[in-house]
Structure 1
């Protein structure tokens, strides 16, 4: 049964991946057609074509390898300075440029002169290239909101998980002290009669609905305070005398900063964890944290390569936050479906995985490097700047920015990305990231 659920999880993730790719390319396709650019092909995947059908002047299809997708637009690059579009150079770099230029005009038909990509105004080209990543961002936001507000996520609650017998500072507990000594005073929670299973509904006369609010109220309080709890369906009011103690510093998002402590009010209990539905504001905050973490991962990607190499070839442990490719994510998807958790939580975790993939796809594609969408956006924006400056200073129109001249750089970038993809693939196969 576990094997069946694992295979099912991998299949579900693969479907989510294909939908994400198709959704991305639909953004490019719809805006290109909106601005009158001819699109001969819309394909999901690479390699041999599994299925295709032509509708209008566009061939729609699915290819065998679900590792990406593309649309082909006529006239992605302008003709050369001499107006020609055929390869004619012996220099390898010039050949790269002219080969790319020639490929951009394949399937050119009579009447296409007014339907070329490069002839559109820069702002229209920016929209066409931005529309693909933007679709991934929209899908990520919708999935995140759906999971956070509809299913909920595992978080600390206002229910008491356990009560501390005595007062122990957080730094002492982190150093390994767990048992109470002779001179350790009883915790305020123990003295007040708080019990495991009590659900705190009020603190010092204020209603309590979430852990963050309760934690902040406790940390701001020293001295007498009333605590209202729901105990087996009935309300019970307890009187506690909070003290100051050394506690872990909060990161502001429900977690703690490792190794950092503050002096604050202390009650002395551990909250129980559970599935908690988030409000819209909390969900937006959670998504902001996810974006921040994903941007940080992209920025720190180069410094993680040595550890990834050791995991792939030297048998070093694979870190939980190690870069992960499509194969690794599919394996995680299979593990998710094989977990012994409620079905709705399997679905929620899978949706979060697909949402995270879409968020990463958006941010990655926005890098201002060819052949990524961000590289084409940067080229169009630079053209707009040059043309506006020429207009201000009454100089001749410099014409379209020749993105084809950047193709040697694009090949280098593509080579680096391909090498990194192969490294991640090897690590995902021989030493995959495991769910903890």
Structure 2
């Protein structure tokens, strides 16, 4: 039940983010005397609409978007004589740019408002990306099978002190090498344990067997050699397949996982700093987006789905459901903030039909007219959008294919947070 509520709440959050984005365009357009014909949430067949003044408001059947139809948005748009004094294309360039960027500004403001609320309520995560060292905070038993890992308490279902304790690992020890391979941090140690476990499985070991490999630890500044027992365990991949890997049963204290606490005043610069971090990561994700497409296609046919794989509104809503199911409300809200930053960054892409594409056309008009004035010519008027139609159609087709592919992957092989 909690999962379903989480999915519904996140879907509502997405719809609200899109609605506010389009409302930003609408309010800005009206403030400059432009006429807004339609303001709709969703696409496809109309479910409900009501006209008030010159604007028709409504909802459409497919709630994965929305639009704000402004009269004369481009020189190609047909218009009536009644609309002629209110056309967007005839307004000063700076006004047209502000209208196109208004939706983006709303998403940024909404994301920062959410982050501020999280900061004063819980605090914010560390922004350091340095991997945590493999320092033992606690040793424990390790579940042998997938069912064991899912059952019981937070550590799963298992008995005994665990391989790490049986090997002589102590609280405060930092693992520095496993099976002759230097490990600089905890992720590197996990990778090497995976290799040890999978190699043992290839040699005939089954879940529950143990293999012993040499290891070294830093104990109070002294290097100590150990015979490290690694248990072969069964774990589940993102695609749902069962694999045999290695585990020793230890927990680390990750300083990057500690929250930074704020009061109402200190949360302001904290929000700005964390927002800057998210914007940087979002920009990197956008640059990497094309390279992540084929792995998404492969995941549809059974390959592992990467944890940082692109997701659609379907996948994001499922993630929201998982977070609510595990009572992770802070992460739920930060995921919604991330979504708004992504919407803002995505719409800034300077290609039509994105908001940034329309804005860049206005910038082109101003640069072109500057050169025309230097040659003693009159302004060239609105840009000829017919020349941009091939680009618009191509970008729209790419977005459609990419979006449908990710939706299919989110249904068949979704990213799993837990």
TM-score, scaled to structure 2: 0.70
Instruction: Confirm or deny that 1:332 pairs with 2:319.
Output: yes
Render the CA deviation track for 1:377-406: whole Å, top value 9, x for unaligned: 010000011112222332222222122431
* Aligned residue in 2 for 1:413: 395
- Paired residues for 1:240-259 under 5 Å: none
Q: What's the C-alpha RMSD, in Å, of the aligned pairs?
A: 3.1
Go from structure 1 to structure 2 and tell me whether the alpha carbon gap of 1:276 and 1:377 turns closer, same or farther (over 3 Å shift): same
Q: Does the Cα contact within 8 Å between 2:176 and 2:217 map onto a contact in 1?
A: no
Go from structure 1 to structure 2 and tell me whether the alpha carbon gap of 1:172 and 1:137 turns closer, same or farther (over 3 Å shift): closer
Go from structure 1 to structure 2 and tell me whether the alpha carbon gap of 1:187 and 1:123 turns closer, same or farther (over 3 Å shift): same
Go from structure 1 to structure 2 and tell me whether the alpha carbon gap of 1:433 and 1:400 turns closer, same or farther (over 3 Å shift): same
Secondary structure of the equivalent of 1:40?
A: strand
Q: Does the Cα contact within 8 Å between 1:54 and 1:60 map onto a contact in 2?
A: yes
- Paired residues for 1:173-184 under 5 Å: 174=189
* Aligned residue in 1 for 2:226: none
> 2:261 aligned to 277, 302, 313, which one?
277
Structure 1 residue 287: deviation in Å? 2.3
* Bigger-Rg structure (1/2): 1
- Paired residues for 1:224-303 under 5 Å: 270=253, 274-278=258-262, 279-280=266-267, 281-303=269-291
Q: Does the Cα contact within 8 Å between 1:129 and 1:374 map onto a contact in 2?
A: yes
* Aligned residue in 2 for 1:132: 103
Q: What is the alpha-carbon distance in structure 1 between the residues aligned to residue 41 and residue 60 of structure 2? A: 6
After TM superposition, the runs of 4+ consecutive aligned structure 1 residues lying more than 6 A away are 181-185
* Aligned residue in 1 for 2:234: none
Q: Does the Cα contact within 8 Å between 2:107 and 2:340 map onto a contact in 1?
A: yes
Q: What is the alpha-carbon distance in structure 2 between the residues aligned to residue 185 and residue 353 of structure 1? A: 38
Secondary structure of the equivalent of 2:346?
A: helix
Go from structure 1 to structure 2 and tell me whether the alpha carbon gap of 1:303 and 1:394 turns closer, same or farther (over 3 Å shift): same
Secondary structure of the equivalent of 1:44?
A: strand
Render the CA deviation track for 1:74-109: whole Å, top value 9, x for unaligned: 11222xxxxxxxxxxxxxxxxxxxxxx2xx225x24
Q: Does the Cα contact within 8 Å between 1:376 and 1:403 map onto a contact in 2?
A: no
Structure 1 residue 71: deviation in Å? 1.1
Q: What is the alpha-carbon distance in structure 1 between the residues aligned to residue 48 and residue 118 of structure 2? A: 33
Structure 1 residue 277: deviation in Å? 2.3
Render the CA deviation track for 1:268-324: whole Å, top value 9, x for unaligned: x94675554255344433322221111111111111111111001x20010000010
TM-score, scaled to structure 1: 0.67
Render the CA deviation track for 1:120-170: whole Å, top value 9, x for unaligned: 1111110111111111111111112221332224569xxx95674557647
Secondary structure of the equivalent of 1:48?
A: strand
Question: Which stretches in structure 2 are left out of the alignment for 5+ residues?
Answer: 129-135, 139-169, 197-211, 224-251
Q: What is the alpha-carbon distance in structure 1 between the residues aligned to residue 215 and residue 375 of structure 2? A: 84
Q: Does the Cα contact within 8 Å between 2:322 and 2:417 map onto a contact in 1?
A: yes
Secondary structure of the equivalent of 1:77?
A: coil
Size of the aligned set, in residue pairs, is 321
Question: Which stretches in structure 1 are left out of the alignment for 5+ residues?
Answer: 79-100, 189-242, 245-268
Q: What is the alpha-carbon distance in structure 1 between the residues aligned to residue 31 and residue 64 of structure 2? A: 27
